[in-house]
Structures are given as C-alpha cells and as structure tokens.
Chains A and B, each alone.
Chain A
Amino acid sequence: MNEKLFSLLSGIIFGVGLVISGMTNPEKVIGFLSITHNWDASLMFVMGGGILVFAPFFYLMKNKDTSSLGFKINLPQKKDLDKKILIGSSLFGIGWGLVGLCPGPAVSSIALFEPVTFIFLSAMFIGILISKYV
C-alpha cells in the first residue's frame, strides 16, 4: 500500500517540477535544441538541478540492497555500449526534436486535455510494442 502511495506522490512531485521548469511546453524544448538560432539553455538547468539532487543521494545509497520500504534496489544491469543503445537514443532524439515532446512532459500534458497529447502517446505506445521485435 505504502509503495503505491509513494509512487503516486513521486509522480505528483515530478509533474509539478516539470511544469515549474517550463518543460511541459514543447516550444521550450525546441528552444534548447535550436543551438544555431535563439538558443534557450533552460533544459540544461532542469537536468542539472535533477542531477544535483539525485547524484549525492545515489552515492549515499549505492551500497544498500533494499529500499526504505524493503524492496530490492533495482538498477540496470547492462554496462557496455552496444548498437541498440546508440540507434535507440538516436531515434529518440529525432522524435524529440520533431515536436519537442519526451515521455514525461507528454504524460503531464494530459492535464491540458490537448488532443495532440493523446495522439502522441498512442503513437508512442505503438513504438513501444514494435521495440519488442527489434
């Protein structure tokens, strides 16, 4: 039960952070990717802020096996670079640059009831399903 409550709470805090950061507006993301014209570095500060908080915390927690609620600490096991991560992140960047939406802001903008969001998320879901066959 607690785990579900904290999942919801974490989601709420994440969503508030996204909207305060301005990243729920695709135009801000495009502004960051537009380095040759009217560059807007804000996104770098958002990532930097997140890393500033999580990096020291992760360092303190990294030798623990279980979370505070007793769940096994779950970290990615893959360590080496492969073709899949390079192709995948390249494709993600292209999609991100096309309209300025990544998964977090796309889910958050459900709150705006914009039809565009639902189309984007549906297409994203199809991409996820197809990724299982790649």
Chain B
Amino acid sequence: MYNFTPYSALTGGIIIGCSVVLYFYTTGRLAGISGIFANALTNKTNRISNLLFLLGLALGPLGYFFVSSAPVKFEITNSYILIIIAGFLVGLGTRMSGGCTSGHGICGISRFSIRSIVATITFIITGVITVFILQQFGIYL
C-alpha cells in the first residue's frame, strides 16, 4: 500500500477522539467542524465558544509545527477554480446533510446514528468517484 501510515493515523485519530470526548463532556455539544464553522459565522448562540474552538483548531497545528521539527506537508491542486468549486460544494453539502467527516464520520458513527452512517458511506462513495474521474483527466495520478 502506497504512503500508508497506520500508526500516526491511529494516534491522530485517538487524539481527535479525546478532543470530541472533552468537548462533549464539558459543553454537551458534538464536535462537528462544519457545524461549528457555520454556527460561528451565521449564529449568535455560542459564537465566542465556536470561534475559540476554530482558533484552537489552527493553533494546535501551529504549536505542533513550532515544537516538532517534522516537515509540514501540504500538497494541493494549484487550480483556484477547483478550489472554489470544492469549497462551495463542501459548504453547501455539509450544511444540507448536517455534518462532515467529523460530525457524521466520527461523532455520528460513534452514536450509531443511521443518518450519519449513510451520510459517511455516501460522501466516501462520491469522493471516490470524483477522484477516479479526475484521474482519468490526468488531474491526479
């Protein structure tokens, strides 16, 4: 398998799980990032808390880069048109379905929510099809 990093992936996943536990245990809310992002910008309820969560989401990696000397990898398409279409679809799609990889994929599946299980399977399938089509056009290898 290519580029496969099971140990760091599992470690990171467990740390994310701890964050979800802490957030739920203290605030009583699920740590779904698309919801937190949307609420921070469009809803006055808990706005400061939501903004602080997002700030932490950026500060965590910043601190990690500062402490560790690990190289920061960020490889993404350089097509701004693709980025804009993608961002738009992610915003629209996550709000229509009520969650993203964290809200449905981690929080929802942990709760055995049928909606979240179906949503997660659906977005993985359409993601796989999208990447497959892009590969046929030579955009991804």
Interface of A toward B, CB cutoff 8 Å = 2-4, 6-28, 30-31, 33-55, 57-58, 61-62, 66-69, 71-76, 78-81, 84-104, 106-112, 114, 116, 119-132, 134
Contacts and interface: CB of A to CB of B under 8 A. Distances in A.
A17 to B, nearest CB: 3
Majority secondary structure of chain A interface residues (helix, strand, loop or mixed): helix
Contacts of A4: 48-49, 52
Contact of A51 (B26, B110, B126): B110
Given A19-B61, A108-B60, A123-B91, A90 B135 contact: no
Interface residues of B, number: 111
A7 B27 contact: yes
A81 B114 CA distance: 8
Interface of B: 1-6, 8-31, 33-34, 37-38, 41-42, 48-50, 52-65, 72-78, 80, 82-98, 100-102, 104-115, 118-120, 122-132, 134-135, 140-141
Given A42-B6, A92-B123, A104 B57 contact: yes
A25 B75 contact: yes
B95 A127 contact: yes
A44 B59 CA distance: 25
Contacts of B63: 12, 16
24 contacts: A4-B52, A10-B31, A11-B52, A11-B60, A13-B56, A15-B57, A16-B61, A18-B60, A40-B4, A43-B9, A45-B6, A58-B110, A67-B26, A74-B30, A84-B96, A85-B119, A87-B93, A89-B120, A91-B96, A103-B100, A116-B80, A120-B83, A120-B86, A127-B91
B72 to A, nearest CB: 6
B115 A50 contact: no
A13 to B, nearest CB: 4
Contact of B56 (A8, A47, A57): A8
Nearest to B131: A33
Contacts of B58: 15, 107-108, 110-111
Contact of A40 (B1, B25, B37, B57): B1
Contacts of A108: 57-58, 60-61
